[in-house]
Amino acid sequence: MELQPHSTTSAETKTRSLTHHVVRALMMVGVALGGAIVLIAIVLGILFFSGETQEFIYMNF
């Protein structure tokens, strides 16, 4: 039984897989942050255009 030499293709596959996971994780973080910003903008827009913001400001001061 002979030992097979370690091929360089498996090392390249591992680095590609790691890079793929890192890129996918960064994309998911970007989508999550983008979604949070959109939700905050929607809530602030509803408050601003409904006139509730003025009452809220006067209530705090």
Q: What pLDDT, in 10s, does the model give residues 37-59? A: 999 999 888 877 777 666 666 66
CA nearest neighbour of 47 among 24, 23, 17, 39: 39
Residue 3 φ/ψ, nearest 5 degrees:
-80, 135
Q: Which residue has the higher pLDDT, 36 or 3?
A: 36
Give the pTM. 0.55
| pLDDT at site 22 | 93
- Binning pLDDT at 50, 70 and 90, where does residue 32 land? very high
Contact 30, 22 (CB under 8 A): no
Q: What's the CA gap between 40 and 32, in Å, rounded?
A: 12
Q: Across the chain, what does the average pLDDT equal?
A: 80
